[in-house]
Amino acid sequence: MTSRTGSAEDAVDAGDARRRAVRAWVTIVALSFGSFLFVTSETLPIGLLSELSADLRVSESAAGQLVTAYAFCVAVGALPLTMLLSPLNRRSSLPAVLTVFVVGTALSAWSPGFEFLLLARTVVAMAQAAFWALAVSLAARLAPSGRQGKAIALVYAGISFAQLLGVPGAAALGHWLGWRNAVLVLALAGLLTLLVLAVNTPPLDGRSAVRPRQVAGLAARGRVSAAVVAMGVSFTGAYVAFTYLSPLLQRIGGVEAGMISLFLLLFGIAGVAGNALAGMLVDRRLNWAIFLAVGGLFGTLALFGLAARWLPVAVISVALWGLCGSAMPTTFTAWALRLAPADHEAMTALLVIAVNAGLGTGALLGGRILAGPGAHAVVWGATALLGTALVAVTLVMRCERTPGGRSAAGPHD
């Protein structure tokens, strides 16, 4: 009798464990989809500059500042929101963050003018900063022992696919349905994600926050600070041009407006391949992966600036642009974690700040150049910044080596 009772209890315990595991992975997948939605919302204006400028009656360079303001808000909010939200229960705080995303995104779709849209996107940007403060650490806590890396990678996969597919997808929806309806689709998808998180997220208490002193100490390390600056300059150069890809294709390549979504789709498809290639290289040839990402983008933009007026060159350039540009987030994340193996959370905060500061600065600078010297100057300005970043990246990687010729962090090239 005792044996039967024990077997029944074991079966119940095993069933409960399976249900908890399923709910945990459902939550992690929802976090991945949430990261996809946030980054798609951040970069959505890139594919819809012409539609936004026409509807809101502003210039394309002004419309590009929607990306700038958003990125700066994420960069500014990353550290203080991490400190503020870390002690809170995840079951209540995450759905609250997604609620802000849904409301802010819906208000963006309703915006009567440019200033209102800018304000609504600022609200969404702060929600994104809060999301990063919670999502990655929660995924690691929910994952079974030994699977934390897979869970974190799954959350980051949402970022990669947003950068690869979110812009062309949003551009296609914007062309077919109008940009406001495309934004509403994001709000509805956010509502679905909110419901999944509200049902499945366990009532986990927060943990101690990353402290400013810890981040400052990490940033004071010479190699770390140099690498963070190099990453920021790389993303600045990338987004000087990428933010204005649509007008660059039209003004330099002579591409018709109706064909832009196809070029963005090509960019996304090539980006999937670039992300997969980076994923294969980072574990064994990280230095090569970084060099190929930054150096490849530098060469691609130079090719675009020289010969994009020929359609085959424009097509090849956009494909290479997607291939190399999509590899940068993956390779830089791996590099950042290699630089600070004992301070992953603090290093991730620095990386988020560097990436979003570079993104915002690039969009701002590109808009000023586009409105002034013009489209060709945008391409050559981006090329110059990427060339500078390539030199800086190479020097930092050389400094990582010990006198014996091996990295202090292990084999990587």
Instruction: Give the mean model confidence (pLDDT) for residues 162-178.
Output: 75
Give CA–CA dist 4/16, Å, rounded. Answer: 18
User: Long-range contacts: 397-400, Cβ < 8 Å, 24+?
Assistant: 397/287, 397/290, 397/291, 399/222, 399/223, 399/226, 400/223, 400/339
- Alpha helix ranges (H) inside 204-259: 212-219, 222-242, 245-251
Q: What is the per-residue pLDDT across 64-102, written as a single tens digit (0 to 9) for each?
A: 888 888 888 888 887 788 777 766 767 778 889 999 999
Give CA–CA dist 377/252, Å, rounded. Answer: 11
Residue 33 and residue 193 in contact, taking contact as beta carbons nearer than 8 Å: yes
Instruction: Give the mean model confidence (pLDDT) for residues 356-368.
Output: 86
Nearest to 282 by CA among 341, 229, 354, 338: 338
Statement: residue 407 has pLDDT above 50: no
Side chain identity, residue 159: I
Give CA–CA dist 232/365, Å, rounded. Answer: 14
The band of 410, judged by pLDDT with boundaries at 50, 70 and 90, is very low
Q: Which of 138-147, 183-192, 402-411 has the highest mean pLDDT?
A: 183-192
pTM: 0.73
For the chain, give the percent of residues with pLDDT over 70: 87
Nearest to 407 by CA among 290, 286, 292: 286
Instruction: Give the mean model confidence (pLDDT) for residues 326-355.
Output: 79
Statement: residue 375 has pLDDT above 60: yes
Beta-carbon contacts of 132 under 8 Å, excluding residues fewer than 6 positions away, are 74, 78, 82, 352
Higher pLDDT, 112 or 268: 112
> Which one-letter DSSP state was computed for residue 87?
T
